[in-house]
Structure 1
Amino acid sequence: MADLSLSGAVESFALCVGDDVLGQLRQRLDGVRWPDREPVADWSQGVPLARMRTLVDYWKSGYDWRRCERRLNDLGQFRVRIDGIDIHFLHVRSPHEGAMPLILTHGWPGSVVEFLKCVDPLTDPLRHGGKAEDAFHLVIPSLPGFGFSGKPPETGWSIQRIARAWHILMQVLGYERYAAQGGDWGAAVTTAMGALRPTGLLGIHLNLPFVIPDPLPAEPNEQEAAMLEALAYYSRWQSGYSTLQASRPQTLGYLLADSPVGQAAWIYEKFYEWSDCDGDPANIFTADELLDNIMLYWLTNTGATSARLYWESFHGAFSATDLHLPVACSIFPRDIYKAPKSWAEKCMHNLVYWNELDRGGHFAAFEQPHIFAQEVRQAFRTMR
Structure 2
Amino acid sequence: MSRVEPKVTRRTLLTIAASASAIGVFPKAFAATGTESGLRPFKFTASKDQLADLNRRVAATRWPDEENVTDDGQGVRLDTIKKLANHWKTHDWRKVEDRINSLPQFLTEIDGLDIHFIHVRSKHDNALPIIITHGWPGSVIEQMKIIKPLTDPTAFGGTEADAFHVVIPSLPGYGFSAKPRDAKWTPPRIAKAWAVLMQRLDYAKYVAQGGDWGNAVTELMAVQEPAGLLGIHTNMAATVPAEITKALAAGTPPSTLTADEKRAYDQLDDFNKNGLGYAIEMNNRPQTLYGIVDSPIGLAAWMLDHDIRSYRMIARSFDGEHEGLTPDDVLDNITLYWLTNTAISSARLYWANAHFPSGGFFDPRGIKIPVAVSAFPDEIYQAPQSWAEKAYPKLIHYNRLPKGGHFAAWEQPELFTSELRAAFKPLRDQI
**Band the TM-score falls in, shorter-chain normalisation:** over 0.9
The answer to whether structure 1 residue 233 and structure 2 residue 270 are counterparts is yes
Match of 1:277 among 284, 296, 313: 313
Match of 1:366 among 410, 413, 416: 410
Distance 1:330 1:104 in 2: 14
The answer to whether structure 1 residue 355 and structure 2 residue 391 are counterparts is no
CA offsets 1:161-204 (integer angstroms, 9 cap, x no match): 00000001111111111100001110110000010011100100
The answer to whether structure 1 residue 288 and structure 2 residue 333 are counterparts is no
C-alpha contact 1:274 1:336 (8 A) present in aligned 2: no
Instruction: Give me the TM-score of the superposition, normalised by structure 1.
Output: 0.95
Instruction: Give me the TM-score of the superposition, normalised by structure 2.
Output: 0.85
Q: Between Structure 1 and Structure 2, whose CA radius of gyration is higher?
A: 2
Corresponding residue for residue 103 of structure 1: 131
Count of residues paired in the alignment: 380
Distance 1:232 1:27 in 2: 41
Match of 1:297 among 337, 340, 357: 337
- The equivalences for 1:331-346 within 5 A come to 331-346=375-390
Distance 2:287 2:369 in 1: 38
Corresponding residue for residue 174 of structure 2: 146
What secondary structure sits across from 1:299 in the alignment?
helix
- The equivalences for 1:1-384 within 5 A come to 3-6=1-4, 9-60=38-89, 62-216=90-244, 219-222=255-258, 223-252=260-289, 254-270=290-306, 273-274=309-310, 277=313, 280-282=316-318, 283=322, 284-314=324-354, 316-318=359-361, 319-384=363-428
Letter of the 1:309 counterpart: L
Deviates more, 1:8-17 or 1:175-184: 8-17
C-alpha contact 2:314 2:326 (8 A) present in aligned 1: no
CA offsets 1:181-240 (integer angstroms, 9 cap, x no match): 001110110000010011100100000110122244865422333222211100111110
Change (3 A) 1:224 1:271: closer
Distance 1:130 1:275 in 2: 33
CA offsets 1:235-277 (integer angstroms, 9 cap, x no match): 111110110111111112x111111110011112337633783
Distance 1:321 1:281 in 2: 36
C-alpha contact 1:188 1:317 (8 A) present in aligned 2: no
Change (3 A) 1:357 1:71: same
CA offsets 1:59-104 (integer angstroms, 9 cap, x no match): 12x1111100010010111110111111011111111121111001
Structure 2 gap ranges (5+)? 6-36, 248-253
Change (3 A) 1:53 1:279: closer
Distance 2:291 2:79 in 1: 21
Deviates more, 1:211-220 or 1:193-202: 211-220
What secondary structure sits across from 1:75 in the alignment?
coil
Instruction: Give aligned-pair identity as a percent.
Output: 47
What secondary structure sits across from 2:236 in the alignment?
coil
Distance 2:348 2:120 in 1: 29
CA offsets 1:288-320 (integer angstroms, 9 cap, x no match): 111110012111111111111111125524111
Distance 1:18 1:6 in 2: 35
Change (3 A) 1:278 1:4: closer
Letter of the 1:234 counterpart: F
Structure 1 gap ranges (5+)? none
C-alpha contact 2:304 2:311 (8 A) present in aligned 1: no
